[in-house]
Chains A and B, each alone.
Chain A
């Protein structure tokens, strides 16, 4: 029975394809979501329907569909294009077989629907799993990328390191911050660590708690921790929340924090130009004499 229906479909593939293309074109009129040219849309439709037919013909071989879906994923076509296409195929094929057959009774109708389902469903499952696989891949890559820029520790000078924090701090990141901070302090033999929170959008009690803990841990291994980059609105919310940051030094900007870090390590910034001017002045006064 299934073979017979398959033959009907394959023998009349031209007609079915024509009807299918018509349906798809109508649907495109309704949605207009795809920003592609008319020609590209038509050629893609043709390729799609050929891939479907080769799968029906070879009974569940997805070679053509695999290449086709891979290309669509790369081009960023939505999954809905494919699922709508498959729905249209199911509709068109079922109608076509029923129209072609004489004395349609319930039993026959059931068989037709079953057969078409056997062709269509595996293809839909295959396409959906191809798409979701590519999404999962993207998400995991992005997660990795995010983790890489999670908590860098930058040695700026002997004994001074900076950890700039950008973006939301969640539990996982807080752990990373602590680990990187302690590892980095040991590795770079840092005396002062500046934690810059300019890029942290919200400092709530959890974020503050993690920062306080990290600073405390840094203190335990013998280094000083300065919290810098506290924006005025963040300062106000910290006060409102009643978070006690009096135990460790804070500065409004990285620049100021760096200056106090230099003081702690007994160094300072000297303006070379200023000295030159002084010397010039002395020379001038000598000349006058």
Chain B
């Protein structure tokens, strides 16, 4: 997996770390200039990503990066863990599929909340989810 220097990251170990990650994401998106609706979208997506780490992998981290390519700005968030991995990535992207008794809207929901979504998972090695949101 690519090794990029991130501007900041929040380790996820306890349930309250989810709040810390969310707050960091909210602060950064505010700084980039996102409106309140997009801020809520980004914070919710981070909340889902961090909760997945907490629930399934027990620990991992959420990395943040500000994107700036002359034409437009955005935020990139990467959720990384060394957990059990996902055996069937296609299945978890289906609406309503759940292993925890939840709503099963997590990963497909994140995809709808953000502009770019990518998931790489290897069984027994871990999962890495990358999402991006562009400022319009």
CB of A236 closer than 8 Å to a CB of B = yes
CB of A206 closer than 8 Å to a CB of B = yes
Per-residue CB contact flags for chain B residues 37-58 toward chain A (1 = under 8 Å, else 0) read: 1011101100110010000000
A188 to B19, CA, bound (A): 34
Tell me the minimal C-beta distance from B116 to chain A in angstroms: 15
Q: Which of A170, A234, A241 contacts B109 (CB under 8 A)?
A: A241
Tell me the minimal C-beta distance from A14 to chain B in angstroms: 50
**Which residues from A are CB-within-8-Å of B106?**
205
**Which residues from B are CB-within-8-Å of A201?**
22, 43
CB of A46 closer than 8 Å to a CB of B = no
Q: Which of A168, A232, A237 contacts B44 (CB under 8 A)?
A: A237
* B residues 53-92 touching A (CB-CB < 8 Å): none
Is there contact, CB below 8 Å, between B22 and A242? no
**Which residues from B are CB-within-8-Å of A240?**
41, 44, 109, 112-113
Is there contact, CB below 8 Å, between A206 and B51? yes
Is there contact, CB below 8 Å, between A170 and B15? yes
CB of A243 closer than 8 Å to a CB of B = yes
A155 to B33, CA, bound (A): 42
Q: How large is the interface on B (under 10, 10 to 19, 20 to 34, 35 or more residues)?
A: 20 to 34
**If A168-B19, A171-B15, A209-B103 touch, does A204 touch B48 (CB 8 Å cutoff)?**
yes
A209 to B22, CA, bound (A): 19
CB of A72 closer than 8 Å to a CB of B = no
Closest chain A residue to B19, Cβ basis: A168
Is there contact, CB below 8 Å, between B43 and A202? yes
Max chain B Cβ within 10 angstroms of own Cβ: one of A204, A232, A233: A204
**If A204-B51, A205-B103 touch, does A233 touch B37 (CB 8 Å cutoff)?**
yes
* A residues 189-246 touching B (CB-CB < 8 Å): 201-206, 208-209, 212, 232-234, 236-237, 240-243
**Which residues from B are CB-within-8-Å of A202?**
22, 40, 43-44, 47
Tell me the minimal C-beta distance from A33 to chain B in angstroms: 25
A202 to B18, CA, bound (A): 11
Per-residue CB contact flags for chain B residues 97-125 toward chain A (1 = under 8 Å, else 0) read: 00000110110110011000000000000
Is there contact, CB below 8 Å, between B44 and A243? no
Max chain B Cβ within 10 angstroms of own Cβ: one of A168, A206, A208: A206
Is there contact, CB below 8 Å, between A242 and B112? yes
A234 to B38, CA, bound (A): 10
Tell me the minimal C-beta distance from B25 to chain A in angstroms: 10
A200 to B115, CA, bound (A): 25
**Which residues from A are CB-within-8-Å of B19?**
168
**Which residues from B are CB-within-8-Å of A203?**
44
Is there contact, CB below 8 Å, between A170 and B44? no
A237 to B22, CA, bound (A): 15
Is there contact, CB below 8 Å, between A232 and B37? yes
Q: Which of A168, A171, A241 contacts B113 (CB under 8 A)?
A: A241
Can you name 12 A-B residue pairings with CB atoms under 8 Å? A202-B40, A204-B44, A204-B48, A204-B51, A205-B102, A205-B103, A206-B102, A236-B40, A237-B113, A240-B41, A242-B95, A242-B112
**Taking beta carbons and an 8 Å cutoff, which residues of A are in contact with B?**
168, 170-171, 201-206, 208-209, 212, 232-234, 236-237, 240-243
